[in-house]
Structure 1
Amino acid sequence: MTAVRPVDAASILLLDRSGGHIRVLVGKRSSKHVFMPDVYVFPGGRRDASDRLVPVASPLHPLALERLALRAGRRCSDSRLRALGVTALRELHEEAGIAVGTPLSAPAEGSLSFRPDLSPLRFLARAITPAGMVRRFDTRFFTLFTDEAGVDPAAATASHELEDVRWVDIFDHKGIEMPDITVLILEELQKSIQENKSLPFGRAAPLYYTQRGRFLRDLL
């Protein structure tokens, strides 16, 4: 059996801190998905080859880029890391209808209708799907505050990719079925928020991966 290699992916934890509690946007994956159907996740998906070519309104913060580059491999260029930020915002738009960036008056057919603004993205964590799964991803998780991005929380809408899009208190998600890795990433967010509510750009990020059957957590 041929080993499945993990492919680059990005996911985004969109955070609303306008009320008394911090909420994160999640949605239910369709039952038609082969990978993790019928569970609630953050918007996200695999990196497209074209994501490297998308012009951006602003680049990633230097400290976020620096953290992303750690243990990324010698072949992982800045353009590939920047593309992960583009992936996160593209998926947010495709799955939840939220555009973060500068609107384009006449976008090319099949391209984004906005120029992504990567500057407010914080790098929160990285997780590599264990071997043996039908799909494997090397996923970078980003955080984004709605107020910093000029996003109206009420603008989030469901899609064929994510059903029942909803805002969930990051400290209270009882009754919502999430994959183990989603819960782990949410716990990382909780720790980070408790340490510093502003989520500094240069904060160390955990890396989750499996080696010789052991599930490990390192810091980047």
Structure 2
Amino acid sequence: MRPRRVVPRDAASLILIDSSGPMPKVLVGRRAAAHRFMPNLYVFPGGRRDPGDHRIKALDALPAPVVDRLARRVAKRRLACARHGLAVTALRELYEETGLLIGRLDDQHDDRTTSHGPALLPALGQLRYVARAVTPATSPMRFDTRFFALFTHEAGIDPAAVRDSRELEDLRWMAIDDRQSVPLPAITATILDDLAARLAMDPHLSFEPGVPFYYTVRGRFVRTML
């Protein structure tokens, strides 16, 4: 009997960049040992898309080039989720996992208050779309993850304000060229390599460049551009 095909679930991550020093740093945290997916590895804040994320209102819109890239290689019926919804996912997960808020909390409308407290009104206007990766078919859990990037100074974030959570432990700012201090998933290291190369050529991360898309075909790793 053939093994059941696991369909990748939409997910999003945010790569926060602290460019205040000579070497850019990115925020990573260790996934708890109890996680089924990538336990004890250091990753960017993020997680799977909630069904209602695409309906959450934002303080501002995604830049047009980002909207265009997010729509590539996505079925038309899923465009709302793949564009606005995944950007919201990245910022919602950041807040839940690190306490860092990109936007503001809405405590004025009872119908938008969640079990976690006031609902998030995310600010999307400075997000860059920098990578997309699909978990290999051999994995028992699969995600189609879009990676966004944002500079801390653009969002008014104090890098010292991060706090650990049940989802991400030992949060730390890691030099973007560091591959030795903590255990990283191979795909995270690959994304960091590409992002470091892009930052070297484009320190402000303009919105227009193509986006690397990583996936596997018959066990072979593929990197193409969106």
| Identity among equivalent pairs (%) | 46
Alignment match, 1:125: 131
* TM-score normalised to structure 1 length: 0.96
Alignment match, 1:108: 113
**Secondary structure class of the residue paired with 2:203:** coil
Structure-2 separation of matches of 1:213 and 1:114: 39
**Secondary structure class of the residue paired with 1:168:** strand
**Secondary structure class of the residue paired with 2:224:** strand
Structure-1 separation of matches of 2:114 and 2:12: 24
- Deviation sequence 1:76-103 (CA, Å, 0-9, x none): 3235411000000001001111010033
Alignment match, 2:101: 99
Name which of 162, 169, 172 aligns with 1:166: 172
* 1:148 pairs with 2:150: no
Letter of the 1:185 counterpart = I
* TM-score normalised to structure 2 length: 0.93
Letter of the 1:121 counterpart = L
**Secondary structure class of the residue paired with 2:113:** coil
Letter of the 1:207 counterpart = F
* 1:13 pairs with 2:15: yes
Letter of the 1:5 counterpart = V
Name which of 17, 33, 37 aligns with 2:39: 37
Letter of the 1:100 counterpart = I
Which 4+ residue blocks in structure 1 deviate beyond 6 angstroms? Answer: none
Alignment match, 1:49: 51
Kept in 2: contact 1:90–1:112 (CA 8 A)? no
Count of aligned pairs: 220
Kept in 1: contact 2:15–2:27 (CA 8 A)? yes
Name which of 60, 81, 106 aligns with 1:58: 60
Q: CA RMSD in A?
A: 1.4
Deviation at 1:175? 2.2
Structure-2 separation of matches of 1:122 and 1:20: 22
**Secondary structure class of the residue paired with 1:77:** helix
Letter of the 2:152 counterpart = T
Kept in 1: contact 2:54–2:80 (CA 8 A)? no
Structure 1 spans left out of the alignment, 5+ residues: none
